[in-house]
Chain A
Amino acid sequence: MATAKPLISVVDDDESMREAVRGLMKSLGYTAEAFASAEEFLSSRQVPRTSCLIADVQMPGMTGLELHRHLVASGKTIPTILITAYPDDSMRARALEDGVVGYLSKPFDESDLLACINSSLPADAP
């Protein structure tokens, strides 16, 4: 019943961080996939299956926010949570304006992340 579990995709160029977030998602009962860059995620087959996207803001190449905008522009809207090691109020404002569900700074509180995920997933999720 793999399809019953929502897929959460994690995009972060920092290996420790992306493995940690993927591990946390698994412990919360989600299926999680990790990608080292926005480009790697976009070229994967997981885009249409992804229920929620957790992406780092600062990445070489396409940034997390650019990835979100790209998905919106191509009509594949996925609820997106941005995480950043460089919290910046103006960036946060722009991101929320662009419709991201959450903007969290590292290290983030587990409950904050959970709240963001829950708000982006349908009510029947685990």
Chain B
Amino acid sequence: MLCRTAAALSTGCAGLALLTWILVASDFSHPATGALLYLIVIVLLSITGNIAAGLGLAIIATFCLDYFFTEPRFSFQINATEDVIAVAAFALTAVAIAVLAGRARRSGETRALKDRLQLIIDTIPAMVWSISPNGSSDFLNKRFRDYTGLSLDDIRDWARADALHRPWMNALHPDDRSMDDWSAALAPGEPFEKEARLRQFDGEYRRFLLRFVPLRDEWGRIVEWYAKSTDIEDLRRAEEELRRRDARLRDAQMALAHANRVTTTGQLAASIAHEVSQPIAAALTNANAARRWLGAAPPDLEEVGQALDRIIRDGIRASDVIGRIRALVRKVPPRHDQLDINEVTREVIALTRGELRSSGASLQTKLADGLPLIPGDRIQLQQVMLNLILNALEAMNGSSQTARELLIGTEQDGSGSVLVAVKDSGPGLKPESRDRLFEAFYTTKPNGMGMGLSICRSIIEAHGGRVWVTADQPHGATFRFTLPQQQEAAC
């Protein structure tokens, strides 16, 4: 500031000196002309420079006028009273002109700054407005007015008509205008955010994120609230579209998993027939026995009762099998239950018993006691085990290994997750196929679709777990999957 003043003053002094030199050199000594020309220099400097420089130059110019143009010339002495008055009048005029010109320049600058700020506020890609503590809006930027189609007058009219309410709220969707909500948001006097729909000039509503910040005076009272809104309609629509796509994807995955369950269950036809026919055959045999005991002389009712108890047990067993099959092929949304993995495993084994028999494989189970319950969908997990067991049997059927041994085990791993392993004594895996086994449409079977294991992986991952396979020595393969007790990913 001081620097700029000094620079402006030296420029003014140089102008003054040049002017004086020209006038003195050309022997031009008329004091009024000199004074007028000096005033012009002062005006120019005050307009372009600043007031301090203008005032400084006014004082120097007064001395110059006295020295060069007032009799006796080339001396600061003044003899005539009228000359004293003239010099004093010049000094006063010069000072006044410097001050006025400076002010004129400053107000010009202020206006320019105001215009510029207005331009910035109107141009920034957001709607900005201010609200007084009583709720009236005294400022709305151009974007707000353009968007809503409202004029400043409209807002002022609202304010007059509805002084106790918050007139700018008329631009909000009726459902977003709850006075209780807004009062609650404004009451703490802290900056806050709110999502609301704002009405566009053509009647369309778009969603906005509104941010409010209070301005406080030196006593901490809220003078005004400043509000800014950002259009989030497109963002919200994109999010909704993404959600819809997610839902469609989930539906497709569910349909695929269901198709796989139906196919897999179809492969169990022999097992199912066995599992159902066995208790039915037993029930019929028990019924024959009961009839005999009834026909005996005397009838042995105790034996009849025992036979009937066995019939009931057989009936329950057959209907349990049918219930499990029905659950497997039913199309239901995934559930979240607390599951005992050993129970889930035993149910699957019961369904595959016939398959095990017909493939001549022996089954060994190692189900650990005291496993924690895990959250999950019983049917989906049974589907995974069913796929793994049938794959293992198929691998062993194609194998020249004489001993066909299937081992199903459960245990708790180091991280507290439950680990399920299905180990077969088949020919094992080629390294190149091991890495791709879980990919969709990858299959090593002549009639395989390549979906089974990929569906298993999506199911296990949806349970927050992991599934992998290792080749065993000298032959065989073990598929393992984990199920965490706490689930992060949604199923």
Which residues of A are at the interface with B, using a C-beta cutoff of 8 A? Answer: 14, 16-17, 19-21, 23-24, 26-28, 58-61, 85-86, 106-108, 110
Contacts and interface: CB of A to CB of B under 8 A. Distances in A.
Nearest to A108: B281
Contact of A16 (B289, B314, B358): B314
Nearest to A104: B281
Given A58-B357, A85-B277, A23 B284 contact: no
Contact of A14 (B278, B303, B362): B278
Contacts of B278: 14, 16-17, 85, 106
The 10 closest A-B CB pairs, nearest first, are A107-B281, A27-B292, A106-B281, A20-B285, A16-B282, A20-B282, A27-B289, A24-B289, A110-B288, A23-B289
B466 interface: no
A107 B280 contact: yes
Contacts of B306: 23
Interface string B262-275: 00000000100110
A61 B360 CA distance: 9
Contacts, number: 76
B420 to A, nearest CB: 22
Interface string B293-314: 1001000000100110010011
Contact of B314 (A20, A21, A86): A20
A107 B313 contact: no
A17 B357 contact: no
Given A60-B357, A106-B277, A107-B284, A27 B362 contact: no
A86 B274 contact: yes
Given A16-B314, A20-B310, A26 B282 contact: no
Nearest to A106: B281
Contact of B358 (A23, A86, A106): A86
B280 A27 contact: no
Interface of B: 270, 273-274, 277-286, 288-290, 292-293, 296, 303, 306-307, 310, 313-314, 317, 354, 356-358, 362-363
Nearest to B278: A14
Contacts of A19: 282, 310
A12 to B, nearest CB: 9
Contacts of B277: 85, 106-107
A106 to B, nearest CB: 4
B165 to A, nearest CB: 79
27 contacts: A14-B282, A16-B279, A16-B282, A16-B313, A17-B281, A19-B282, A19-B310, A20-B283, A20-B314, A21-B285, A23-B306, A23-B307, A24-B292, A26-B289, A26-B303, A27-B289, A27-B292, A27-B293, A27-B296, A60-B357, A60-B363, A86-B274, A86-B358, A106-B277, A106-B278, A107-B281, A107-B284
Nearest to A16: B282
A23 B73 CA distance: 152
B298 to A, nearest CB: 14
Contacts of B293: 27
A20 B289 contact: yes
B312 to A, nearest CB: 11
A19 B313 CA distance: 11
Nearest to B307: A23
Q: Which of B282, B285, B358 has the most CB of A within 10 A?
A: B285
A17 B285 contact: yes
A104 B356 CA distance: 22
Contacts of B290: 27
A123 B403 CA distance: 45
Contacts of A26: 289, 303
A92 B423 CA distance: 34
Nearest to B357: A58
B285 to A, nearest CB: 4
B357 A107 contact: no
Contact of B285 (A60, A61, A86, A107): A107
Given A16-B278, A17-B278, A23 B362 contact: no
Contacts of A107: 277, 280-281, 284-285
A17 B282 contact: yes
A15 to B, nearest CB: 9
Contacts of A59: 357
Max chain A CB contacts within 10 Å: which of B357, B358, B362? B357
Contacts of B314: 16, 20
Contacts of A24: 285-286, 288-289, 292
Given A16-B310, A27-B289, A28-B292, 10 more contacts: A16-B282, A19-B310, A20-B289, A20-B314, A23-B286, A23-B289, A23-B307, A27-B290, A27-B293, A59-B357
Contacts of B362: 60-61
